[in-house]
Amino acid sequence: GENVEQHPSTLSVQEGDSAVIKCTYSDSASNYFPWYKQELGKGPQLIIDIRSNVGEKKDQRIAVTLNKTAKHFSLHITETQPEDSAVYFCAASPLSGYSTLTFGKGTMLLVSP
Amino acid sequence: GAVVSQHPSRVICKSGTSVKIECRSLDFQATTMFWYRQFPKKSLMLMATSNEGSKATYEQGVEKDKFLINHASLTLSTLTVTSAHPEDSSFYICSARMAGGTFNEKLFFGSGTQLSVL
């Protein structure tokens, strides 16, 4: 089955800095890679996702890059703000079929004012 | 955007009692719903997949008689923790897949239920 590794487990940055979270996956059949943000006591919220037919996707301050050959994908947050502080999870799965999402272990991002 | 409502958000119960958690898709139909368990500072652990009108599929190691799942309609799935014990204390999260979407896109999460068993 799929195995998703996520690093770092914690990340502290100053407001305005950039933050990068990296994930690797093992199953070459995976072609859908979402990122979720989870605030304390709440469920995960999808913030951005990417399919394997593109290498990069941007949405304002958030971007995701994918390297299919190396089987890794990254989340980039620019101009970080204190409200970006949360736990971020990457996930991987085939886009179709009966496989479920496999989540990474999460990264706690702390943005200090 | 699509909303998944999960209730209750927090429940405290005595050991031996049963607790029901509801997961509703408010503005879309969900053919499939998922139930996860999350321990503090840990990732989401899939417990079971429920398809409307059929029996849930449980992940290895999850007791189906302990965690009863019912998905009676396209907008509602329930998880009942039967005869709860302190080791069942955890954060439970549901997610719903919008009908018609490709498989793992259109997946929306509820806000979670913190269960504490005394």
B50 touches chain A (CB under 8 A): no
State how far the Cα of B19 lies from the Cα of B16, in Å rounded to an integer. 10
State how far the Cα of B69 lies from the Cα of A8, in Å rounded to an integer. 35
Q: pLDDT at position B107, please?
A: 81
B79 and B62 in contact (C-beta within 8 Å)?
no
Task: Calculate the alpha carbon distances from B69 to A71, B6, B75 in Å.
Answer: 35, 14, 14
Of A45, A100, A106, the CB nearest to B43: A106
Cα–Cα–Cα angle for B80, A104, B37, rounded to 5 degrees: 10
Task: Calculate the alpha carbon distances from A78 to A11, A23, A63, A82 in Å.
Answer: 14, 18, 9, 12
B34 touches chain A (CB under 8 A): yes
- Nearest chain A residue (CA) to B111: A43
Please tell me the distance in Å from B10's CA to the nearest CA on chain A: 10
Contact B104 A95 (CB under 8 A): yes
Query: Does residue A83 sit in helix, strand or coil?
Result: helix
DSSP string, B53-90: TSPPEEPTT--TTTEEEEEEETTEEEEEE-S--GGG-E
Q: pLDDT at position A20, please?
A: 98
pLDDT digits (tens, 9 = 90+) for A67-88: 999 999 999 999 999 999 999 9
CA A19 to chain CA centroid, Å, is: 11
Q: Give pLDDT tens digits along chain B (118 positions).
A: 678 999 999 999 999 999 999 999 998 888 889 999 998 888 899 999 998 888 899 999 999 999 999 988 889 999 999 999 999 999 999 999 887 655 566 788 999 999 999 9
Q: pLDDT at position B51, please?
A: 86
